[in-house]
Copies of this chain bind each other. A is one copy, B any other.
Amino acid sequence: MTKIVIVGAGMMGTATTFPLADNGHSVHLVGTHLDTEIIQSCKSQQYHPKLKRAIPPGVRPYFIEEIADAVQGAEIIVSGVNSLGVHWMAKTIGPLLLPGQKIIAVTKGLEVDAQGNLIILPDVLASELPAEIRDQVKLAAIGGPCIAGELAGRRRTCVVFGARDAKVVELLATAFRTDYYHICTTTELVGLEYCAALKNAYAMAVGIAYGILQKSGGVDAAGANGHNLAAAIFGQSCSEMGVLLKIAAANQGFALGLPGAGDLFVTTNGGRTSRLGQLLGAGHSLAEARQIMVNETLEAVEIIRAINSALPKLERDGRLSPGALPLMRSLIEVIVQGKPVDLALESFSACL
Which A residues have a C-beta under 8 Å from some C-beta of B? Answer: 51-53, 143-147, 149-153, 155-158, 160, 162, 182, 184-186, 188, 191-192, 212-213, 220-232, 234-236, 238-239, 241-242, 251-263, 265-266, 269, 345-346, 348-352
B242 touches A259 (CB 8 A): no
Instruction: Offer 10 A-B interface pairs, CB within 8 angstroms, sorted by A.
Output: A150-B226, A158-B236, A188-B351, A231-B263, A232-B262, A234-B261, A238-B261, A239-B257, A256-B256, A257-B352
Contact indicator A350/B242 (Cβ below 8 Å):
no
Stoichiometry (number of copies):
2
B152, B158, B235: which contacts A263 (Cβ < 8 A)? B235
A220 contact set on B, CB distance < 8 A: 153
Q: How far apart are the CA atoms of A144 and B265 in the complex, in Å?
A: 17
Among B151, B232, B260, B262, contact of A182 (Cβ-Cβ < 8 Å): B232
> Which of A149, A212, A257 has most B Cβ within 10 Å?
A257
Give CA–CA (A263, B239) in the complex, Å: 13
Which residues of chain B have C-beta atoms less than 8 A from A185's C-beta?
350
Contacts of A156 in B (CB 8 A): 212, 228-229, 232, 345
Whether the Cβ atoms of B236 and A262 lie closer than 8 Å is yes
Q: Is the CB of A158 within 8 A of B256?
A: no
Chain B nearest CB from A142 CB (Å) reads 11
Which of B235, B259, B346 sits near A259, CB closer than 8 Å? B235
Q: Which B residues touch A155, using CB under 8 A?
A: 213, 224-226, 228-229
Given contacts A153-B222, A186-B350, 17 further A-B contacts (CB under 8 A): A52-B221, A144-B235, A155-B224, A184-B348, A230-B265, A230-B266, A231-B265, A231-B266, A232-B258, A235-B258, A235-B263, A238-B257, A239-B256, A251-B352, A252-B256, A253-B351, A256-B261
Partner of A152, one of B191, B224, B269, B346: B224
Q: Which residues of B contact A182 (CB under 8 A)?
A: 232, 345-346, 348
What residues of chain B lie closer than 8 Å to A252, measured between beta carbons?
252, 256
Beta-carbon contact of B228 and A150 below 8 Å: yes
Closest 8 CB pairs of A and B: A235-B262, A153-B224, A253-B352, A145-B231, A253-B351, A158-B232, A231-B266, A157-B228
